[in-house]
């Protein structure tokens, strides 16, 4: 409805004012004049006009031409309107030239347009273009090309009789020019065939065909640049297929944001370059044997502490000073000594009072101790036999926990470490009073005290016991101890065969009392569960087998690919990259190997990561506006922060300048 000054529109029960919205409009018509071209020869027959441009519906480009033998005579020639153009279906007439990208081609409006010049003969030609639009749409010209002289099929290939009638000859010449335009492009492509074998000039749609010559298949998800890089360096990649540097190049080709020829530099040099600073952003391939920690096992015999009965307990007391300061200060030693005696005598009594009474009786204390807290540790061995026995047992116990274990220390130290681990784990979880009872229930054992627990040389059969055994060997033992079972017997026999060579030498170590027949390597079996070898030499062999030989055997031909990632990268992006890398490695790795793919922070652990070589600096505490699906909470702000919240000025990237309706 029209009012006095406004228009209104009825929507449901209200009238809304219609507001004029000024829109930018193009000029409805424009002319381009004064385009004069020189054909370089007299009586030049001008052939075609080619325009790379866009001619939307309801718009047009009109072309008029006039020609003359001299440029000054053009003004006296009459303008001749050329026929309407057509959009070339095969694109540009220039081989390997694409005026527009695939995204720009749409609705039969954009492309290469062609006008066949009807009757322009003379050395010089002048063009006049008229561009017509409807205000909302307008034609656009990106490039204009004029071809001369016309290669006439009529003159080159037909007899003279076809040229006798001038009017008919002109029509026939223009008619044959249509076929000439189609065939000329094919001829040009044949003439420039070498360009189709060069990755720099090959059209994208033919890259797969070129790769097939090398027996390769391109990933359709790759960008054009990645496809060209792969084909250009395919020979290098095939030569180094299955190697570390070959895998690294293949992975970086896919996951690098801007890949270039630099990722193939190692392949050209034929060796792996040393990373220098900031290598945390590089792909790293770590062979599994490199994850093996140093076993810390020495085969040389150490100094041995003689126990009271003259046997060797294997613990190097000679490494301690006369004050035992290596075990801790006096207060700490007193507390640990009292706790050790409390645990030792509580195993023989039901209550603390009874345990203290047993201690007083054993030590023959005068006067008697009233509590375990009164006990002090002395650096000098006690004189009384029973007290000396407890003192030595405590020192052995502390040494077993303190020193880095060696086979020369004997199996006792391993048992003590395992006992303390079990005591601590179950006491923290189930209280000290219930710890042993719960352990017996889990392991299906009947231990009366933690000191009865022994470290098994092989993985226990019982599930709960095996779980605690594995956790201890992986976290608290201090050196690598492989999980070992009956299936590893042939490996153990082969290990001993390489070490001892003959059955005579084997028998002297593994069956010194057997005189009837020699022990063979096939007779060797793994130690029984809870039966750690007692012989120092046999124990040394066993530890070297489970800590060196077996891990090396199991980790052979296995590797881990560490993929770089940014701290703020979204999970879906990381998962996509991991899937990409896994697919590449699966195709490029040697057939006999196995692998896994992890993000780069899987390397960031003590003993594996190298500061400055395997690490990168993050972006720091940088807060930006949160974008849904692209940021984490806590790493951005919901509202604008400085300088985006300034209200008294325009901020670049935030505010848009308003265009004046008056064109100012």
Q: Which structure tokens are listed for 323?
A: 């004050």
3-state secondary structure of 231: helix
Do residues 38 and 166 share a domain?
yes
pLDDT number for residue 173: 81
Judgement on whether residues 173 and 230 belong to the same structural domain of the protein: no
Which residue has better confidence, 29 or 655? 29
- What confidence score (pLDDT) does residue 663 get? 43
Residue with tokens 């030609």: 125
Cα distances from 105 to residues 224, 440, 567, in angstroms, run 18, 78, 40
Q: How far apart are CA 335 and CA 295, in angstroms?
A: 32
Which pLDDT belongs to residue 609?
64
Is the domain of 117 the same as that of 173?
yes
Rg from Cα positions in the chain: 45
Q: Is the pLDDT of residue 268 over 60?
A: yes
Which DSSP string corresponds to 560-588?
EEEEP--TT--HHHHHHHHHHHHHHHHHH
Give backbone dihedrals phi and psi of 80, rounded to 5 degrees, phi first: -120, 125
Q: Do 138 and 219 belong together in one domain?
A: no
Residue 515 above 60 pLDDT? no
The answer to whether residue 480 sits within a structural domain is: no
Selected residue with higher pLDDT from 431 and 624: 431
Is 116 part of any domain? yes
- Omega of the bond prior to 149 within 30 degrees of 0, cis? yes
Taking alpha carbons only, the member of 181, 165, 147 closest to residue 45 is 147
Same domain, residue pair 133 and 251: no
Q: pLDDT band for 443, please (50, 70, 90 cuts).
A: very high
Mean pLDDT of 377-391: 77
Q: How many domains does the chain have?
A: 2
181 and 211 assigned to the same domain: no
Question: What does the pLDDT look like over 156-199, one tens digit per residue?
Answer: 788 888 888 878 888 888 888 878 877 887 887 788 888 888 88
Cα(first)–Cα(last) distance of the chain, in Å? Answer: 33
* Residue 251 sits in the same domain as residue 225: yes
Which residue(s) pair with 115 in the sheet? 49
State whether the Cα torsion 357-361-366-369 is positive or negative: negative
- Tell me which long-range contacts 268-276 makes (C-beta under 8 A, separation of at least 24): 268/236, 271/245, 272/244, 272/245, 275/613, 276/613
Please tell me whether residues 183 and 219 are part of one structural domain: no
If one compares 96 and 116, the residue with the highest pLDDT of the two is 116
231 in Cβ contact with 201 (< 8 Å): no
Among 274, 294, 313, identify where a domain stops: 274
Per the domain annotation, does 269 fall within a domain? Answer: yes
Predicted confidence (pLDDT) at residue 606 exceeds the cutoff of 70: no
Instruction: Say if residue 352's pLDDT is above 90.
Output: no
**What SS3 class is residue 66?**
strand
Stretch 256-269: mean pLDDT: 89
Is residue 99 in some structural domain? yes
* Mean of the per-residue pLDDT values of the chain: 81
Domain membership of residue 555 (yes or no) is no
Beta strands in 88-202 (DSSP E): 110-116, 124-132, 140-147
Same domain, 151 and 184: yes
pLDDT digits (tens, 9 = 90+) for 300-329: 333 333 333 333 444 444 455 665 666 667
Residues 121 and 143 both lie in one domain: yes
Residue 258, domain extent: 204-274
Residue 302: what pLDDT? 35
Please indicate, yes or no, whether residues 252 and 116 belong to a single structural domain of this protein: no
């Amino acid at each position: 409805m029209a009012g006095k000054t406004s228009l209104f529109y009825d929507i449901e029960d209200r009238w809304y004012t219609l507001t004029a919205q000024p829109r930018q409009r193009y000029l409805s018509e424009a002319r381009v004049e004064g385009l004069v071209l020189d054909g370089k020869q007299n009586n030049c027959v001008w052939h075609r006009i080619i325009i790379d441009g866009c001619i939307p519906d309801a718009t047009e480009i009109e072309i008029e031409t006039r020609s003359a033998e001299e440029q000054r005579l053009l003004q006296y020639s009459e303008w001749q309107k050329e026929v309407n153009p057509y959009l070339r279906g095969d694109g540009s007439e220039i081989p390997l030239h694409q005026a527009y990208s695939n995204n720009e081609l749409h609705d039969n409006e954009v492309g290469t347009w062609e006008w066949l010049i009807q009757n322009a003969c003379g050395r010089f030609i002048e063009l006049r273009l008229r561009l017509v639009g409807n205000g909302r749409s307008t034609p656009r010209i990106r490039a204009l090309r004029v071809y001369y002289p016309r290669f006439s099929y009529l003159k080159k290939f037909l007899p003279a009789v076809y040229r006798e009638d001038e009017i008919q000859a002109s029509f026939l010449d223009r008619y044959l020019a249509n076929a000439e335009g189609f065939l000329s492009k094919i001829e040009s492509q044949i003439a420039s065939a070498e360009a189709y074998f060069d990755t720099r000039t090959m059209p994208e749609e033919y890259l797969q065909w070129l790769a097939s010559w090398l027996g390769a298949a391109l990933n359709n998800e790759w960008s054009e640049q990645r496809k060209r890089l792969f084909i250009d360096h395919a020979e290098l990649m095939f030569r180094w297929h299955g190697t570390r540097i070959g895998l690294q190049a293949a992975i970086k080709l896919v996951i690098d944001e801007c890949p270039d020829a630099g990722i193939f530099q190692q392949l050209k040099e034929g060796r792996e370059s040393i990373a220098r600073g900031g290598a945390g952003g590089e792909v790293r391939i770590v062979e599994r044997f490199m994850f093996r920690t140093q076993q810390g096992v020495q085969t040389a015999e150490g100094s041995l502490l003689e126990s009271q009965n003259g046997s060797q307990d294997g613990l190097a007391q000679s490494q301690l000073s006369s004050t035992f300061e290596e075990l801790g200060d006096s207060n700490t030693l007193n507390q640990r000594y009292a706790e050790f005696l409390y645990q030792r005598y509580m195993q023989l009594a039901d209550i603390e009072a009874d345990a203290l009474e047993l201690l007083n009786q054993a030590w023959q204390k005068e006067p008697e101790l009233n509590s375990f807290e009164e006990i002090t540790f002395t650096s000098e061995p006690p004189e009384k036999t029973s007290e000396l026995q407890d003192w030595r047992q405590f020192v052995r116990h502390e040494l077993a926990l303190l020193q880095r274990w060696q086979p020369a220390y004997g199996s006792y130290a391993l048992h003590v470490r395992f006992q303390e681990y079990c005591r601590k784990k179950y006491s923290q979880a189930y209280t000290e009073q219930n710890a042993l009872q719960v352990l017996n229930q889990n392991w299906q054992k009947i231990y009366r005290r933690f000191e009865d627990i022994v470290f098994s040389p092989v993985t226990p059969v019982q599930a709960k016991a095996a779980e605690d055994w594995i956790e201890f060997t992986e976290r608290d033992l201090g050196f690598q101890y492989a999980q070992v079972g009956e299936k590893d017997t042939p490996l153990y026999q082969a290990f001993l065969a390489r070490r001892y060579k003959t059955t005579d030498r084997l028998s002297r170590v593994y069956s010194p009392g057997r005189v009837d027949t020699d022990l063979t390597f096939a007779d060797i079996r793994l130690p029984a569960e809870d039966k750690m070898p007692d012989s120092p030499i046999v124990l040394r062999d066993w530890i070297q087998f489970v800590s060196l030989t077996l891990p090396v055997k199991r980790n052979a031909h296995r590797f881990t690919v560490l993929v770089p990632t940014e701290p703020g990268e979204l999970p879906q992006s990381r998962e996509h990259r991991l899937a990409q890398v896994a697919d590449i490695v699966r195709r490029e790795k040697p057939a006999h190997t196995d692998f896994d793919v992890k993000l780069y922070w899987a390397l960031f652990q003590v003993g594996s990561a190298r500061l400055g070589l395997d690490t990168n600096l993050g972006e720091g505490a940088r807060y930006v506006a949160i974008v849904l699906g692209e940021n984490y909470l806590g790493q951005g702000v919901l509202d604008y922060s400085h300088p985006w919240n300034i209200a008294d000025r325009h901020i670049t990237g935030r505010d848009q300048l308003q265009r004046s309706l008056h064109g100012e």
